[in-house]
Each structure stands twice: as structure tokens, then as C-alpha cells.
Structure 1
Amino acid sequence: MPVDPFDAAFDPFRRGPGPISVDSPYYPTHYLQSVLPVPCHSHNDYWRRTPLYAALGSGCVSIEADVWLFRDQEDELYVGHSVASLSRNATLRNLYVDPLVSILERMNSENEIAGPIPGLRGVFYQDPEQPLTLLIDFKTNGLDLWPYLQAQLAPLRDRGWLTHWNGTDRVTKLVTVVATGNAPFEALTANKTYRDVFFDAPLDDLDDASDPPSALPGTSENSVFDFKYNPSNSHMASAPFLRALSLSKLSYSVPPVFQGPLTPPQTAILRKQIGQARERGLLPRYWGTPRWPRGLRDRVWEVLVEEGVGLLNVDDLRAARKGQWGRPH
């Protein structure tokens, strides 16, 4: 995709020596004060020059980092889509964790006139109660990577900013961390009394033999916690768009969606999967939706929004800003 001018506007902050100073008159919050958060997920945002700021500046309430562990490289978690794209200055720490700490400390600092302001405030000035989701895609062995992720989240955890399960309730805070890819579900759920990393459940395969039958429409027979994937251990439910359609158990063949607009049977598949995620208290998300032609992309986005998708997966932030996707009409 061509360079996004909005992304380029933040580039001077990236070029500075060392971490961004929250005392700088050019601190990125000057660009973020009027941003309205929308339920969009900034997919592969590390492709951009300033991944965190471009996503937040576009209003995305969810961001993503693909992370790789190489033990002989100072125990850093490197961020990139493939091994060939990795570099020493692109780590989870310096692209996401440290900037988030700076932003949230700035948001929660005393006002020079009013003094202390009660309550925790998130990354969005216009909606400080809106949590930010940080999706971590495990690219290397999940069990090996797991303790390193836990350690690198300490600056957020120690400040009390991470959404967590306390053994009986889910406590929503400023940042919700979600693990996907090679993330080990058993390791994430091993601690029954505290966990602050949640799972990205398989949206196209949510049915589990241990789950109860679905409650009758209009009843509340089942609790969300009766399901294998529920708010105590999961936050999202995601699937690649085309695979989610082709794995349908319906008797007819599902044609490739790129050939034209979504058909009624395809829409019915999406509706069922989105409903299953909602029934479990999870945010449904599809990735790999068509990017071109734009008319088809926009129509697929429209159907997903109409069907109640929890997060609209966005690769082109300019299109998301221009169309105000995710905002209620």
C-alpha cells in the first residue's frame, strides 16, 4: 500500500534519539486529542512507520504485533511479519510497551492546574474509559515465548493497567492483552486465580464437546462460563475470512467471495459464527477480508458491521478513517 500521510506525520517522533519524551512539545497526544475510538482492529500495524500512533490516531481500539523469540538475542521479542523483516530496533518493548507506558502515564498524570484527577484514563482523550486491546501473535514456539511475554508486560502489569481475571471476576483495565497464533491455551489458563493474557478463540470452530447445548432463543439458560472459551480465558474469537466460509458444514458449495458480493448463504454462515462468539461473551473478528476492488471490500465490511462483528479488521487505515467504519450511524 502507498505511504499513508497520516502515518508519515508521526515519523519525526520515531526518528528521535531514544524513547519519545512525554515532555516534548511535539508529543503525539497533540495529534490524538480529538480522536474518536471506533471498534476497528489495526491489522499488521507494524508495517507502518509509526505503528502504535498511526493506529491510535485512526481511532482503532485494537492493535497487533507479530512477535518472534530468539534466545541468543538478549531475550527480546522481535516484531515483524516474517523472519526476513525483523530488525533490532523493532521489538515489542520499543514499538508497543514503552510507548504505551509513556502515553498512559501522561494521561494519568496530575493536571498542573486542577491537580490529581480521579479514575484511570486510557489512551483516548475523547473516551478515557475505552480499553485498548493489544493482540500478540506468537510466531515461534508458544511455550518458549510465553514467559518472555509475561516478563515484558511487567511495566503495564505493575502499574495496574492490565485487564485480568482474579479467579472469580474479570476486571477490565486500560489494556487488554490477547494471545493468538502459536499461543498455548493450556499455559494461558493454567493459573486459576489470576491471568492477564487472554486467548484468541477459533471463531470458525467454537463448538466443543464439553460445551452445553445452546440456550433457546429468548432464554438465559446457559452462562457464558459454561463454554470452553469464555471471558475468564478469552477475549476475541478470530478466523481468516475465506476459511471461515469454506469450513461450513452446509451441503452446498461456498463459492469464493472474491468473485462477487456475499451471497445469502455466506451471510448466514457469518451470522451463525458471530452469534456463537457473542453467546460466549467474545468479540468476533475476521481477518483476510478482500482489499480489492474497493467496492467489494466496502460491501464486505458493511455486511460484517450489520451482522454485529465485534472488531472490523482493517489493513488500510485511510479507508477506515475516510469511511468512519465502526461508528454508529
Structure 2
Amino acid sequence: MSLSRRMLAAALSALTLLTLLSAPAAAHARPGDRSVRPLAQAHAHNDYEHSRPLFDALDQGFTSVEADVYLVGDQLLVGHDPEDLTPERTLESLYLEPLRERVVDNHGKVYRRKIDFQLLVDIKSDAITTYAALERRLRDPRYSFMFTSYDAGKVRRHAVTVVLSGNRPRAVLSAQRHRLAFYDGRIADRTDLGPGSDAGLTPLVSDNWTKLFSWTGEGRFPAQERARLRELVEQAHAAGQRVRFWATPDDDTPARTAVWEELLAAGVDHINTDDLAGLAAFLTAAK
């Protein structure tokens, strides 16, 4: 090999190494998921508490993730409590930007096969001001293309559906003719847009399991409670709504498995967990 060719080869090798070293860690995780089967009922509760927010859930095939947000100054910071917040952990850096890159890589989808994906934003600070800050980010052309929208009575589905939980600005959302966010209704309070309400505003209805059911997986599921669960799910589904419960057993015990089996049998749309691998294994085995 001539000197000039050796120099060119060395330069190309150095350039390749530099590119690999300088690439962001998230980029390596984005498109390489051909073997991951998305799990329609898998919801990552407090997803941001995992070592790799969003990506740990995506690696397990989750199709719904939950992020608690606080408005601090002009930043939307992600964390469970105010003392957990740090300036670099923003909604954009942990969720919006990685999802944007993922949707671009997958030609308009979060996964390579088309399946609905939910970003549940649990507002912990003031409802109206936090939503105003969130809406500015959702409408940013960098991100807006990937969000399901509501336009004058019509829902247009896209890669990611943003649903607001926690401190929800109900009146603001209800009055908007055009928006990129939806409302998480409550099952126990029928006045709070529960099962059977307008799915164009409230595509999701959620509640604390222990407020509605006494059974937590020990012994038999009381027949009356099983019937009530199925009635709630059927009512929501008839209106085009999805159903989620939180505060279900989440330790790796037979009780948890028993509750998950009943949720699955009833057609509950989002099974809530902090144990990503555990729920992924359960849902995969149940297929």
C-alpha cells in the first residue's frame, strides 16, 4: 500500500472512531428493536424512575409511559417530588426528543409495526400554567407532527397520544377546538368525565384500584366485583375509551399475577407496573 493510501485509511479509521465516540448514547438504542414485540397493555408507571427513562420501557415493548412533571421557571422538569428535580431532566430531553428521533427512524411510528403509543403526563404543579408551557412544546414544529390531535370534533391519530393526568386543566381542554393533548378521566367520580363520556376529550379513564375493589389478589375474586370490573370496561369501550388502574399489587407475588390475569381477562387496556420485565414476561406468556 502506498503512503498516500495508508494515510487515507488511517484518516478514515480515525474519523469512524470519532463518530462512534461522539454519537449520543440514545442514538445507539433508537432503531435496533426489530425483535421487540410491542405490548398493547403494558404501561410503565413512574417511567422516569428507571435507569434509562423511556428506553427501558421501549426495550420491553411497552406502549404507554408515565412522566410526572413540574413547571419550574420556564422548564418542565420530570420527577416524583420537588426535591427530585434537576435542571437536565426535562420533558424534552427524557421523552419528547427521544420519541421524535424514534418516530423519524421508524417512518412515523414509535415501533416498526404500527401500534398506538401513549405519553401520560402527570401534572404536579399548577394545572393551567403547566399545561400552557406543555402546549408550547407540543405545538413546536419539531415535535407537533408526531402527536394525535383534536380538531373541531375530529381526532386525527398519529404516533404518540399525549394524555394529561394529575392536575388537569379540564375547563381549558374542554374549551379548545384544536389541541394536542387529552384528558385522563376518573372512574369512581362519574362527574369527572368517567366511562361513557366523550372520547374526543377523555380517551382514557383511570382510577385507584383500591377505591373500587376490595380484592387485591388473595383468594377468589368476588363475583360481584368481577362483574363490576367487566361492566366498567365494557362501558368505557362502548364509548371508545381505554381503561387503566393504579395501586394494583406490584410485588412479584401470586397475588399480583392473579390481579393481572383478571385485568387481562376483563380487557383492561393498560396494566400499571414499575416492574417492566415482570409485566413484559407475563404479557408475552399470555399471548
**Aligned to 1:123, which of 98, 110, 114?**
110
- How far apart, CA to CA, are the structure 2 residues paired with 1:285 and 1:159? 26
Cα deviations by residue, 1:215-244 (Å, 9 ceiling, x for unpaired)? xxxxxxxxx9xx5x3221112100011012
Q: How many residues align?
A: 266
Amino acid at match of 1:321: A
Q: Can you list the C-alpha shifts for 1:238-285, whole angstroms capped at 9, x where unaligned? A: 00110122xxxxxxxxx4536544222221221222222212211001
Which amino acid in 2 is paired with 1:244? L
The secondary structure found in structure 1 opposite 2:248 is coil
Aligned to 1:111: none
Give the corresponding residue for 1:50. 52
Residue 186 of structure 2 is matched in structure 1 by 202
Taking the aligned partners of 2:273 and 2:263, their CA distance within structure 1 comes to 12
Match of 1:62 in 2: 64
Match of 1:86 in 2: 85
Q: Is residue 2:94 matched to residue 1:95? A: yes
Instruction: Give the whole-Å Cα distance in 2 for the aligned partners of 1:131 and 1:291.
Output: 24
2:273 and 2:65 mapped to 1: Cα distance? 10
Where in structure 1 are there 5+ consecutive unaligned residues?
Answer: 1-15, 109-120, 212-223, 246-254
Query: Displacement, 1:186?
Result: 0.9
CA contact 2:217–2:256 (8 Å) conserved in 1: no
Relative to structure 1, the CA distance from residue 155 to residue 306 in structure 2 (aligned partners, 3 Å threshold; closer, same or farther) is: same
For structure 2, the 5+ residue unaligned runs are: 1-20
2:202 corresponds in structure 1 to: 234
Aligned residue in 2 for 1:13 = none
Give 1 or 2 for the bigger CA radius of gyration: 2
Using structure 2 for the length normalisation, give the TM-score.
Answer: 0.84
Return the offset for 1:19.
Answer: 5.3
Could you list the per-position Cα deviations for residues 112-165 of structure 1 after superposition, in whole angstroms to 9, with x for gaps in the alignment?
xxxxxxxxx31111x1x2121100001011011111000122346755221111
For normalisation by structure 1, the TM-score amounts to 0.74
User: Could you tell me how far 1:191 is from its partner in structure 2?
Assistant: 1.3
Q: Secondary structure at the match of 2:203?
A: strand
Worse-superposed segment, 297-306 or 262-271? 262-271
Q: Greater share of helix residues, 1 or 2?
A: 2
Show the counterpart of 2:169: 184
Tell me if the contact between 2:110 and 2:160 (Cα under 8 Å) persists in the aligned partners.
no
- Using the alignment, how far apart are the partners of 1:51 and 1:187 within structure 2? 29
RMSD: 2.5
Of 277, 281, 286, which aligns to 2:240?
Answer: 281
